[in-house]
Amino acid sequence: MPSGKALSAGDEAARQGRWLGFPPASEELIAAMEERLGRRMPPSYREFLKVSDGWRHAGGFVSLLAGTTDAHWHDNESGLAEMFEEYQDEDAGPEERQEADIWRRGLQLDVESDITYVLLDPEDVGEDGEWAVYTWASWRAEAPERYTSFYEFMRDMFREFHSLHAPPADEAPVFANDTTREMDAVVEQARLDALRGDWERAVKALDEARAYGRPRATGLGDQIRRLLGQTYTLYFQDLVTDPQYAPELLPVLVAEHAEHSYRDDSTLMFHLRGADEELVSLAYATLEQVRDGTYRYRAAGPFGEAVERAREQARRADTGAAWNTLRDALPLWEPLGPDHLAPLGWVADPLLRPLLTPERGRELLSIPRGRENG
């Protein structure tokens, strides 16, 4: 929990003790709860109660989660059953109608929240005896989110809690614990794995760290995804506005913007939040070059010399030779800094960009590079 704002007495005690839970519930308390509710609780919620009889701050929007005393049948207390039924089509099937009925049959676990409901569904039961969990908040304007079990729900809330308290990459951490330190170590190992050519392991680890909101994870993962041919929602977070990495990453961001913006450039500035005036000027100058087809990718050293040869081969329509030239020179490539995983600016070059395919991207990512090619 961050300590930068006034906390309640309970939250302050939790912060001091570094424990958001409560004392465990005895078997007698759990049995009394089950008798009151008329149902045996699902396995993972039951095990949770044996560890903590309730929980503070499950994720970012449920400040108090029920234990043995506060869990109760929702019984359409919110009136949401009628609302969800009203929005159903006339030909809605049994499954859709059953989903809307969650508000009548669900066990409510949220006690204090930001208009966020958490319901256990006694009729959506897996082979392992687990009840599905449904969460919904009106301000999200989305359908209820389903988790296969209370365990999966709490695991996601654990990630969300850390993600919402993660600092920007350029700020010192104000919230740190064993989990944040472990995830930061995961990011660093993933960076090394990516440079050594083990991109599949790296991207999986970076995705996990990103779910915890760890700085660097998104910017590193976006570099891998772009070379795999993905372009949607890739903004190289925290790196594209760093003058050290902008020469490589800014052209890629600008090229995607130019392709999809229809000359409405307001969204470009949204992804350059925090950039200084010089970098913003560079962004618009690069955008002009990309739009008129004059942008030319350049790199330093022997790899840069190979880029020039590849451009000439591509200009002569010898795309196979151009790709081979780039690929073979990759072990000679030097990163601009520790968080630079592969050459990327070339995919904004009008002559070199057509060389990239998902297969070639995987091939490139599999080659050890950046002093990790030994």
Residue 306: what are its φ and ψ, rounded to 5°? -65, -35
Which of 8-22, 193-207, 360-374 bottoms out in mean pLDDT, i.e. has the lowest? 8-22
**Across 5-22, average pLDDT:** 68
Q: Is the pLDDT of residue 17 over 80?
A: no
Q: Cβ(186)–Cβ(179) under 8 Å?
A: no
Please give the Cα distance from 314 to 318 (Å, whole number). Answer: 5
Q: Is the pLDDT of residue 118 over 60?
A: yes
Task: Give the helix/strand (H/E) hosting 102.
Answer: helix 102-105
Are both 19 and 160 inside the same structural domain?
yes
Which of 23-32, 196-205, 276-285, 305-314 bottoms out in mean pLDDT, i.e. has the lowest? 276-285
Judging by beta carbons within 10 Å of its beta carbon (0-12, 13-18, 19+), is residue 312 exposed, middle or buried? middle
Q: State percent of the chain over pLDDT 90.
A: 76
Does some domain include residue 312?
A: yes
Which of 12-26, 100-114, 190-204, 289-303 bottoms out in mean pLDDT, i.e. has the lowest? 12-26
Please give the Cα distance from 253 to 347 (Å, whole number). Answer: 10
Q: Is the pLDDT of residue 13 over 80?
A: no
Please give the Cα distance from 64 to 77 (Å, whole number). Answer: 18
Does some domain include residue 191?
A: no
Does some domain include residue 189?
A: no
Residue-level pLDDT at 6: 46
Q: Is the pLDDT of residue 232 over 90?
A: no
Are both 133 and 277 inside the same structural domain?
no
Computed on alpha carbons and rounded to an integer, the radius of gyration of the chain in Å comes to 26
Are both 229 and 152 inside the same structural domain?
no
Query: pLDDT tens across 54-63, in order?
Result: 999 999 999 9
Angle at 357 between CA 291 and CA 250, to 5 degrees: 40
- Residue 83 Rama label (left phi>0; alpha psi -120 to 50; beta): alpha
Are both 148 and 224 inside the same structural domain?
no
Query: pLDDT tens across 120-161, in order?
Result: 999 999 999 999 999 999 888 888 999 999 999 999 999 999
Among 164, 182, 203, the domain boundary falls at 164
Which of 35-44, 79-88, 154-163 bottoms out in mean pLDDT, i.e. has the lowest? 79-88
Compute CA distances 158 → 55, 77, 153, 266, whole Å. Answer: 11, 28, 9, 35
Are both 13 and 156 inside the same structural domain?
yes
Does some domain include residue 153?
A: yes
Please give the Cα distance from 272 to 254 (Å, whole number). Answer: 10
Q: Cβ(145)–Cβ(134) under 8 Å?
A: yes
Among 164, 192, 207, the domain boundary falls at 164
Residue-level pLDDT at 356: 96
Are both 232 and 144 inside the same structural domain?
no
pTM, full prediction: 0.81
Q: Cβ(346)–Cβ(326) under 8 Å?
A: yes
Q: Cβ(217)–Cβ(236) under 8 Å?
A: no
Are both 261 and 358 inside the same structural domain?
yes
Q: For the chain, what is the domain count?
A: 2
Judging by beta carbons within 10 Å of its beta carbon (0-12, 13-18, 19+), is residue 98 exposed, middle or buried? middle
- Angle, to 10 degrees, between the axis of helix 150-164 and the axis of helix 43-51? 50
Please give the Cα distance from 254 to 268 (Å, whole number). Answer: 8
Residue-level pLDDT at 171: 64
Does some domain include residue 114?
A: yes
Does some domain include residue 72?
A: yes
226 three-state secondary structure: helix
Nearest to 212 by CA among 193, 229, 190: 190
Residue-level pLDDT at 311: 97
Residue 6: what are its φ and ψ, rounded to 5°? -65, 135
Range of the domain at 157: 9-164
Query: pLDDT tens across 209-223, in order?
Result: 999 999 899 999 999
Among 104, 134, 164, the domain boundary falls at 164
Q: Mention every residue, 6+ apart, whose C-beta is less than 8 A from residue 107.
A: 37, 39, 71, 72, 73, 74, 119, 120, 121, 122, 131
Residue-level pLDDT at 4: 44
Are both 227 and 149 inside the same structural domain?
no
Please give the Cα distance from 363 to 229 (Å, whole number). Answer: 12
Mean residue pLDDT of the chain comes to: 91
Judging by beta carbons within 10 Å of its beta carbon (0-12, 13-18, 19+), is residue 329 exposed, middle or buried? buried
| Long-range CB contacts (within 8 A, 24+) of 165-172 | 165/1, 165/2, 165/213, 166/212, 166/213, 166/214, 166/215, 167/215, 168/215, 168/238, 169/215, 169/216, 169/219, 169/237, 169/238, 170/238, 170/274
Tokens of 70: 């506060």
